[in-house]
Chain A
């Protein structure tokens, strides 16, 4: 059996939409399990009191990254058929900054706001209203900064290709970085808890 199954024509588009729904359920389930239906818990990441965002995000990235790496290495997954979103460096850097600012102001990102909304968070519903307003605004002014939107194109490119080092080496480096980040996150949380204890 070879993956990606859909790309090998194992099922049609109608079925793919059911797959989408089921995968979405899994996605939403684990986001809520992690506590990401709570804007306060998410925002705590940026005050070093609860580093769950970093821990969840990087353990998810490392898990999926190792899975993709080993499955492709064993020949079960054809990486050339996996979609790599093309890079447009400058607009993505600007977009990331805006999104980060929006994250700490709004308390959510789009995916977590969906989970917060379905678990009753009224601020998340207001937030989603804001997302729509932002998208409308973006669409209306799009012709004005279309040039910027398409600037600095780099194509579908991965870090191993960019740095010209092997896929395995980069995977290993990311694992090391993630473990380092986890150790620092645990240490930081402890320090903040002590500081809070001292203040009280």
Chain B
């Protein structure tokens, strides 16, 4: 009982310590400038899911090398062995994302071991949903050839047709299912 109380006070203290988020328009402009910089320096935009695919492909290659090299999907992300598949632009970029997120979180006092969920759902159920959602996301991102970063943001800014179709569908899909998911979040 007293332990639970202590935990509660500790949490409240941490919440007081955490600085508020930036204004969304300001954060968006910052994000847009990073994307613009990427276009000007590299001639390409941002991404995220590609780095996950590289990692997944290497795991499959480690377990079943022949299968991975003959699979049309995994082989795209692998190399002939003369260089590491991890020597990849998106892999380095996503490592940067992890570091950048940590820096921002640390500066604002927002590093916290916690589970994001509404009050009406158990942690266990939240994990089940997190895993299933991640799985659908993984399939969707591969089917669409990119995710919110690689398609919506990156392609959105250069008016890519497929990216805009994709972006509208992301919102459509999420809103369509939001009502069923309300117990998890609200």
Residues in A lying within 8 Å of B, measured CB to CB? 3-7, 16-35, 37-41, 43-47, 49, 51-52, 55-65, 67-68, 71, 76-77, 79, 81-89, 91-124, 126-139, 142-143, 146, 149, 154, 156-162, 167, 170-171, 174, 182
Contacts and interface: CB of A to CB of B under 8 A. Distances in A.
A120 B136 contact: no
A77 B164 CA distance: 22
Given A47-B178, A86-B162, A119-B105, A95 B143 contact: yes
Interface residues of B, number: 122
Given A56-B31, A100-B169, A105-B184, 5 more contacts: A97-B169, A110-B48, A131-B52, A133-B134, A138-B143
Nearest to A94: B143
A24 B24 CA distance: 19
B181 interface: yes
B39 A100 contact: no
B162 A27 contact: no
A10 to B, nearest CB: 9
A132 B138 contact: yes
Contacts of B131: 106, 126-127, 129-130, 133
Contacts of A24: 92-100
A104 B160 contact: no
Contacts of B57: 139
A17 B95 CA distance: 11
A26 B98 CA distance: 10
A162 B144 CA distance: 19
B180 to A, nearest CB: 9
